[in-house]
Structure 1
Amino acid sequence: MASSLPPPAAQASRAALSAALADKPDSETPPGEQRSGSEEPGELPEVDMQAQAETIRTVFTDPTNFNVKHPLYSPWTLWFDSPATKGRNLPQTPMSAFPPTPAPSTPGPMAAQGWMEDIKRVISFDSVEEFWGLYNNIIPPSQLPQKANYYLFKEGIIPAWEDDANKMGGKWSIQLPKEKHRNVVDKMWLYTMLAAIGETFDSTLVRDSPDSPAPQSLITGVIVSTRPQFYRISIWTRLAPGNTPEDELRPRIESIGKHFKTSVLGYADTAKLGGPLATEVEFLSHKDSEKKGKGAKKIIA
């Protein structure tokens, strides 16, 4: 049967299946493996791949009862808000396969005020399969009401400037006229999420301190917003460069924007995207965003 998944998703499906087939302890003999008794120490037995595959249920073949999970580098949380749904349930098809997500820890006093009272914490996940189970059960951006937002952030980070992980950072963003991009915004948002959870935006991972348990990416989250006349897709970063060309952080930030523009959104490196209701792929620190254009200095991908 031909796959109806987009190429990155189909590739992920094949990779997940291959990993599942390979990830078996030597002490086990799953269905389909034939031990002849003549294997040398450390030699793998012959494997009936077809029989093995029949015992594996990924989210691609069984969205509800999958039995294979492949962990992501970091756990993530999806948030949602919309003026049209304040005080109501998230507009989505039933998600009975997913348990309720516990309430988040209390954010900073500024972030807790105003819009944070209406934002909905949908669910947290930490595997490829759970991501696809979530994605298959929520409304795509093209069908969301006006002024709605999806926020996909690393677990433990509140999607607000005031969060400690965000307050020294900024965002890459692009604004797309709605009528011209209604048919492609869902794909753009999907590829943005895949790049985020796959940790492909920031290829240089750093440690906060020598005692940190694992390297950390500059990326804290990604957002898609619907407005009356346009869509906006954003990538939030943990840090923002200064306004001097000598800033060592600047090349790293610029590489994120280039990857976003060319590999994720699919534009040519030299493409000019600005126009009526449209912007280039632009970076602005959160501090400059608060200035509302007064003295703010953008980086263009």
Structure 2
Amino acid sequence: MTLSGPALTASRAALSAALAEQPPVNDDESLEPGEIQEVDMQSQAETIRTVFNDPTNFNVKHPLYSPWTLWFDSPQTKGRNMPQTPISAFPQTPVPQTPGVAAAQGWMEDIKRVISFDSVEEFWGLYNNIVPPSQLPQKANYYLFKEGIIPAWEDEANKNGGKWSIQLPKDKNRAHVDKMWLYTMLAAIGETFDPSLTQADPSGSPPNSLITGVIVSTRPQFYRLSIWTRLAPSSAEDDKLRERIEGVGKHFKMSVLGFSEGQKLAGPLATEVEFLSHKDSEKKGGKARKIIV
């Protein structure tokens, strides 16, 4: 597969730390203690085959910042122990029995945990063996969440958060949704949604990423793409969190989906890129506070 634009940038971001942190290995017995072995970087580089230059015979795996788990549900999986295609080729793993699972027991009964991965190569192996969103049945969903976090509001990592989402009419976006979903996943696993992860912290400990997972949903007349966050602004929050949340939405709209900053997207069956906290999602009567970019 040839990548361009945001996809290549996001995927390479997932590799950079791994490439920079390969420790030197002293396997030359002729060296004196403390002596540093000279390394021919050119010849060493020539022996490295990554997934980008050899998708089949690569010999280097690049770890992601965090491990991830893909989940799936559709009308065909409800009430079944095993899902039908597109994911029947993958061995099923049990859902972890966390407090969040217990609270969301009914919701989680029909969601199948497909597979977990923690490297760029494993991601591409998974992606190349599942059906794309444009070919999924109606009312199906892919959920890509960080390992240990279930795709439910009740999970500890999600309960104080919210989601960015956009709704796209099916007839106009069937040819684009697969690429949009791919770029959304790459931005998530490459941690490009939340730049605070790469910024220096006086305490010396990196902050938790705001992103807990991403979702694509197919419905009879539209697709929906969502990005879930572990925190959401409220009237009591300072402006720093709101600015951070808005940064996620702007990156989603412009760098991932490819829309311009001021472009209006709402219309029949379509919405703007908008953020809503999970708590506000439960409110009725128009009291919910949306952020729109």
Task: Report the TM-score, using the length of structure 1 for normalisation.
Answer: 0.81
Task: Rate the CA distance shift 1:243–1:90 in 2: closer, same or farther, 3 A.
Answer: farther
Task: Rate the CA distance shift 1:271–1:25 in 2: closer, same or farther, 3 A.
Answer: same
Matched, 1:233 2:248: no
Q: CA deviation at 1:200?
A: 0.9
Q: CA deviation at 1:83?
A: 1.2
Task: Rate the CA distance shift 1:213–1:126 in 2: closer, same or farther, 3 A.
Answer: farther
Aligned pair count? Answer: 280
Matched, 1:48 2:43: yes
Please name the residue that 2:254 is paired with. Answer: 262
Structure scoring higher RCO (CA < 8 A, sep ≥ 6) equals: 2
Is 2:6–2:256's contact at 8 Å kept on the other side of the alignment? no
Q: Distance in 1 between matches of 2:185 and 2:94?
A: 22
3-state SS of 1:274 partner = coil
Please name the residue that 1:36 is paired with. Answer: none
Q: Distance in 2 between matches of 1:41 and 1:18?
A: 23
Seq. identity, % = 66
Deviation per residue, 1:22-56 (Å, 9 max, x gap): 94734258xxxxxxxxxx95543363368514xx3
3-state SS of 1:48 partner = helix
Deviation per residue, 1:136-160 (Å, 9 max, x gap): 1111100000000000111111100
3-state SS of 1:84 partner = coil
Please name the residue that 2:54 is paired with. Answer: 61
Task: Rate the CA distance shift 1:4–1:62 in 2: closer, same or farther, 3 A.
Answer: closer
Superposition RMSD in Å: 3.3
Task: Rate the CA distance shift 1:17–1:72 in 2: closer, same or farther, 3 A.
Answer: closer
Q: CA deviation at 1:201?
A: 0.8
Q: CA deviation at 1:220?
A: 0.6
Please name the residue that 1:37 is paired with. Answer: none
3-state SS of 1:58 partner = coil
Please name the residue that 1:202 is paired with. Answer: 194
Any unmatched runs of 5+ in structure 1? 30-39
Q: Out of 101-110 and 210-219, give the one that drifted further.
A: 210-219
Please name the residue that 1:159 is paired with. Answer: 151
Any unmatched runs of 5+ in structure 2? 29-34
Task: State the AA in 2 paired with 1:91.
Answer: T
Give 2:85's match in structure 1, choosing from 91, 101, 107: 91
Q: CA deviation at 1:286?
A: 0.5
Please name the residue that 1:110 is paired with. Answer: 103
Q: Distance in 1 between matches of 2:265 and 2:41?
A: 54
Please name the residue that 1:284 is paired with. Answer: 276
Is 1:21–1:52's contact at 8 Å kept on the other side of the alignment? no
Task: Report the TM-score, using the length of structure 2 for normalisation.
Answer: 0.83
